[in-house]
Amino acid sequence: MKEPQSTKLVILEQELVRAEAENLVAEAQLTNITRKKLREAYDAEFVAVIERAEKQIILARHGQRILSLLDDTPVTPGDARRVYEHGSAARQVLNDAEDDLKSWEMNRGREHIGDEVMNPGMDSRIPQAGEDSPESGAAGTSTNQAPEAGNEEYASASSSPSRDQR
């Protein structure tokens, strides 16, 4: 039989309330850890994508240098094959590309989200629709300035006259 004034019932109700509170705390902790790990995983993914893109820029610039060494003058049937005159220059372009890839470092202006530091000293918050970003002149548009800063090194390295003339 059920006795409303039973001390056992009161104790069990208190234990239930305590267990529910512990469960809420555990769920909140699990949610927080899940969010943190998800952010860290995507941050690592995006860092890898940025690294790949920056290295592809290096390769593309050196590829353009190789392309400029190719002879594209028309050939008529029966003509003897021309000797390739830019072998040493092409080898130098490949060596330069290797050196640039070996000495590549990620743009240090950006830190990982997992470190809870993004663009130190800058407003790293992504603007929402209708907001002005610190880097854009129009509302709701954003231009990423960081890749351009990273490209200066590659642009100067791949377009310097001394390297192109080798």
Give the separation between CA 57 and CA 116, rounded to whole angstroms: 28
- Nearest alpha-carbon partner for 149 in 122, 114, 130: 122
pLDDT at 6: 80
- Nearest alpha-carbon partner for 93 in 160, 26, 152: 160
Please tell me the pTM assigned to this model: 0.53
DSSP letters for 54-120: HHHHHHHHHHHHHHHTS------TTPPPPPP--HHHHHHHHHHHHHHHHT----TT---GGGT--ST
Which domain range does residue 104 map to? 7-71+85-119+145-164
pLDDT at 152: 42
- Nearest alpha-carbon partner for 155 in 105, 87, 75, 100: 100
pLDDT at 81: 86
133 located within any domain: no
58 located within any domain: yes
Give the separation between CA 149 and CA 50, rounded to whole angstroms: 13
Give the separation between CA 51 and CA 53, rounded to whole angstroms: 5
78 located within any domain: no
Q: How many structural domains compose the chain?
A: 1
pLDDT at 15: 97
Instruction: Provide the CATH number for the domain around residue 59.
Output: 1.20.1270.60
1 located within any domain: no
Mean pLDDT in order along the chain per 10 residues (166 residues): 76 96 98 98 96 96 96 89 92 96 75 49 47 45 41 42 41
